[in-house]
Structure 1
Amino acid sequence: MNKFMEFLENFLLPIADKLNNNKYLTALRDGFMVSLPFIIFGSIFVVLANLPFLDKLIGEDAFATYQNALGPASAATLSIMGLFVIIGIGYKLTQQYGLDAIYGGAVALASFLILTPQVLEGLSGVIPTASLGAQGMFLGIITAFVSAELYRFFTQKNWTIKMPPGVPEGVSKSFSALIPVTLTLTLFLIIRIIFSYTPFDTVQNFIYTIIQQPLTTLGSGLTATIIAVLLIQVFWFFGLHGQIIVNSVFDPIWYTLNDENLQAFQAGTELPNVVTKQFIDTFLVGMGGTGMTLAVILLIFMIGRSRQLKELGKLGAPAGVFNVNEPIIFGLPIVMNPLVIIPWIIAPVVVTLVTYFAMSTGIVPKPAGIIVPWTTPPLLSGFLATGNAWQGAALQLFNLMVVMIIWWPFLKILDKNYYENEKKAS
């Protein structure tokens, strides 16, 4: 066990440290955080627009009118979530360089729109909303990084217009950004023109075909999901925030899959993906936090004899209901505790397999693409994430029992150890 832990520490900790300090992954993570309030707002109205049995209560015509009235809420947020992510990434990356961040966000958005197809069914000057959502996500991320770097390069080269003293600050900043913005957008316009002479026609088609589709297919698979879950657990075992580290890499894929399901859910067609952002957040993280430690808290109340675990259960329960589990991770402790490394790593993998099987076979509906806030208590979150389906809540309850069974013998040993130490001390 010691050699295994030493191997993990020597191999994974340097990787985790590099990921944590990588400016691009940090900007990517923070960029998604900028979009989160808008995504949650849109998700709330998707839930409200699809309340179960409402069509039976008020009639189909009234229900259609009701849905049309609420539709703009999700259309203006969820359907174009890529725009918020792009602005967020451009802003955050430019901010890291100590430059005027608002221009970094704006130039990222403008660069993306230049590359985006502006023709829809023969009509020019019309941008398909699909290009601003899941389909354009990867192009938007790449564009945000490149445009922010170009803007930074031109600015730091002092290719700017200097205004004389006394000119208002807002005017001075606008003229200072003029040349870097112009050069950056011109380069993206040239790229668009070049791609118009290729078989792909647009950069977006190229990115979607060559990069996004293969990565999305890989990320939606069970193997890649299990690897991601394992890495989250191992990083947390060493005291590193595994969710932030792994999500920085996988979020673009999971959000894309999530948006594809949302579009299908709103259109009333079959949901294409099992693994989505909500698959991870609701059926793994959303049951007491990373590692589903709400099951551990329940077990403490059931079998705990030591004073340490009883007090920890009382302390961790209120937070655990809302999926905050730092009291358990650092109080049990889970970090660097060889007694719990087996259930800590194995339980999430088992739950991933159970959840994937249940959804892929149709026993439980797939995630509907609705972004449920991660602090939503279990059962309610499962119900909402699957499009108001009771099976989602039932699956969460079943998964909690699975985790409790896996943890039972290990927590029993840990509790016995604490109890005997307390008896000796007294």
Structure 2
Amino acid sequence: MNKFMEVLENFLLPIADKLNNNRYLTALRDGFMVALPLIIFGSIFVVIANFPFLDRIISEDAYAAYQNALGPASAATLSIMGLFVIVGIGYKLTQHYGLDAIYGGVVAIAAFLILTPQVLEDVSGVIPTSTLGAEGMFLGIFTAFISAELYRFFVNKNWTIKMPAGVPDSVSRSFSALIPITLTLTVFLVIRVVFSYTKYDTVQNFIYTIIQQPLTELGSGLIATIVAVLLIQIFWFFGLHGQIIINSVFDPIWYALNDENLQAFQAGSELPNIITKQFVDSFLVGMGGSGMTLAVVILIFIIGKSRQTKELGKLGGPSGLFNVNEPIIFGLPIIMNPLILIPWLLAPVVITIITYFSMATGMVPRPAGIIVPWTTPVILNGFLATGNAWQGAVLQAFNLVVVMGIWWPFLKILDKSYYESEKNDKKNDSDSKRKEA
């Protein structure tokens, strides 16, 4: 066991450190965080617009009017979420370089729109909303990175307009950004023109065909998801925030898959994907946090004998209900504790497989593309994530029992060791007092 842990530590920790400190992955992660409040807002109204049985309670016309009234909430947020992510990435990466971040955000969005097809069914000057969402996600990410780097390059070359003293700061900043922005956007305009002479016609088509589609197909598979889940658990075991590290890589894929499901759900079509952002967030993380440790808290109340575990259960229970599990991770502890390495790695993999095949066989509806806030308690979380389907709630409850079964013998051993240690400490204290008397 020690040799295995040493190999993992020597191999994975340097990789994790590089990923965690990579400026592009950090900007990508933070860019999604900028968009998250808007995404959640749109998701809330998708849930409200699709209350179960509402279409049976009111007339067909009233139901259509109700959905049309709430539709703009998701259309203005979820359907064009790529735009918010692009602004966030451009802003955060430019901020990392110590430059005026707002111009990094606006140049990123302008560069993306230059590369985006502006024709819809032979009508020019119209941008399809699909290109502003999942379909354009990867192009937007690359565009944000490149535009921020070009903007930084031109600013560092000092190719800026210097305004005389006394000019208001806002005016001076605008003129300082003028030449770098002009040169950056000119580069993207040239790229657009060049691609118009290729078989792909647009950069959008090129990125989607060569990069996004293959990566999305890979990321939507069970094996890739298991690998991602395992890495999250391993990084956490060594004290690193596994979700932040792995999500930085997988979020563009999972969000794109999520958006495809949302569009199908709103259209009343069959949902195309099982693995999505919400598959991971609701049926793995959304059950007490990483490693689904709400099951551990419940077990503590059932089998815990030691004072340490009982107190930990009281401390970690309330926060665990809302998927915050740092008290368990650091208090049990999970970090660098070989006694719990097996259930810590095994349980999420088993649950991933159970959830995947439950949805693949149609027993449970697939995630509807609705972004459920990560602090939403278990059961309700599964209900909302599957488009207000009771099967999602039942699956979460079943998964919780499975995780408890996996953890039971290991937590029993850990609790027994704490209990014996506490008994020995108590006995030693009694002996010491008797000698003093």
TM-score, normalised to structure 1, is: 1.00
Cα distance, 1:243 vs. partner? 0.3
Written as runs of structure 1 = structure 2, the 5 A alignment for 1:240-389 is 240-389=240-389
Q: Which residue identity lines up with residue 321 of structure 2 in the other structure?
A: V
Cα distance in 2 for partners of 1:166, 1:53 equals 65
Cα distance, 1:59 vs. partner? 1.1
Cα distance in 2 for partners of 1:230, 1:275 equals 15
Cα distance in 2 for partners of 1:357, 1:180 equals 52
Cα distance in 2 for partners of 1:375, 1:408 equals 25
> Partner of 1:218 in structure 2?
218
The C-alpha deviation readout for 1:385-405, integer Å capped at 9, x for no partner, is: 000000000000000000000
Cα distance, 1:58 vs. partner? 1.2
> Partner of 1:32 in structure 2?
32
Please give the secondary structure, in 2, of the residue aligned with 1:190: helix
Could you say which structure has the larger radius of gyration?
2
Q: Which residue identity lines up with residue 385 of structure 2 in the other structure?
A: A
Cα distance in 2 for partners of 1:209, 1:19 equals 26
Cα distance in 1 for partners of 2:215, 2:58 equals 44
Cα distance, 1:256 vs. partner? 0.2
> Partner of 1:394 in structure 2?
394
> Partner of 1:176 in structure 2?
176
Cα distance, 1:57 vs. partner? 1.0
> Partner of 1:152 in structure 2?
152
The C-alpha deviation readout for 1:243-266, integer Å capped at 9, x for no partner, is: 000000000000000000000000
Cα distance in 1 for partners of 2:60, 2:49 equals 13
Cα distance in 2 for partners of 1:268, 1:54 equals 15
> Partner of 1:136 in structure 2?
136
> Partner of 2:430 in structure 1?
none
Q: Which residue identity lines up with residue 221 of structure 1 in the other structure?
A: G
Cα distance in 2 for partners of 1:238, 1:157 equals 42
Cα distance, 1:60 vs. partner? 1.0
Is 1:107 the equivalent of 2:104? no
Cα distance, 1:195 vs. partner? 0.5
Cα distance in 1 for partners of 2:421, 2:187 equals 68
Aligned residues: 426
Q: Report the aligned-residue RMSD.
A: 0.3
The C-alpha deviation readout for 1:358-407, integer Å capped at 9, x for no partner, is: 00110000000000000000000100000000000000000000000000
Q: Which residue identity lines up with residue 84 of structure 1 in the other structure?
A: F
- Which sections of structure 1, spanning at least 5 residues, go unmatched? none
Displacement over 3 Å in runs of 4+? none
Cα distance in 1 for partners of 2:351, 2:43 equals 25
> Partner of 2:61 in structure 1?
61
Q: Which residue identity lines up with residue 26 of structure 1 in the other structure?
A: T
Q: Which residue identity lines up with residue 5 of structure 1 in the other structure?
A: M
- Which sections of structure 2, spanning at least 5 residues, go unmatched? 427-437
> Partner of 1:70 in structure 2?
70
Q: Which residue identity lines up with residue 4 of structure 2 in the other structure?
A: F
Cα distance in 1 for partners of 2:250, 2:89 equals 16
Cα distance in 2 for partners of 1:102, 1:178 equals 13
Please give the secondary structure, in 1, of the residue aligned with 2:338: coil
Cα distance, 1:71 vs. partner? 0.3
Please give the secondary structure, in 2, of the residue aligned with 1:340: helix
Cα distance in 2 for partners of 1:315, 1:332 equals 11
Please give the secondary structure, in 1, of the residue aligned with 2:333: coil
After TM superposition, the structure 1 stretch with the greater mean CA deviation from structure 2, 279-288 or 50-59, is 50-59
The C-alpha deviation readout for 1:43-94, integer Å capped at 9, x for no partner, is: 0000000001111111111000000000000000000000000000000000
Cα distance in 1 for partners of 2:198, 2:50 equals 43
Percent identity reads: 81
Please give the secondary structure, in 1, of the residue aligned with 2:299: helix
> Partner of 1:8 in structure 2?
8
Q: Which residue identity lines up with residue 385 of structure 1 in the other structure?
A: A
Cα distance in 2 for partners of 1:68, 1:197 equals 41
Cα distance in 2 for partners of 1:59, 1:382 equals 28
Cα distance in 1 for partners of 2:355, 2:48 equals 25
Cα distance in 1 for partners of 2:111, 2:243 equals 30
Cα distance, 1:414 vs. partner? 0.1
Cα distance, 1:166 vs. partner? 0.3
After TM superposition, the structure 1 stretch with the greater mean CA deviation from structure 2, 48-57 or 234-243, is 48-57
> Partner of 2:435 in structure 1?
none
Q: Which residue identity lines up with residue 352 of structure 1 in the other structure?
A: T
Cα distance in 2 for partners of 1:51, 1:413 equals 46
Q: Which residue identity lines up with residue 78 of structure 2 in the other structure?
A: L
The C-alpha deviation readout for 1:133-170, integer Å capped at 9, x for no partner, is: 00000000000000000000000110000000000000
Q: Which residue identity lines up with residue 140 of structure 2 in the other structure?
A: G
Cα distance, 1:96 vs. partner? 0.3
Cα distance in 1 for partners of 2:345, 2:156 equals 46
Cα distance in 2 for partners of 1:116, 1:362 equals 37
Cα distance in 2 for partners of 1:59, 1:148 equals 51
Q: Which residue identity lines up with residue 217 of structure 1 in the other structure?
A: E
Cα distance in 1 for partners of 2:364, 2:303 equals 31
> Partner of 2:235 in structure 1?
235
TM-score, normalised to structure 2, is: 0.97
Is 1:85 the equivalent of 2:85? yes
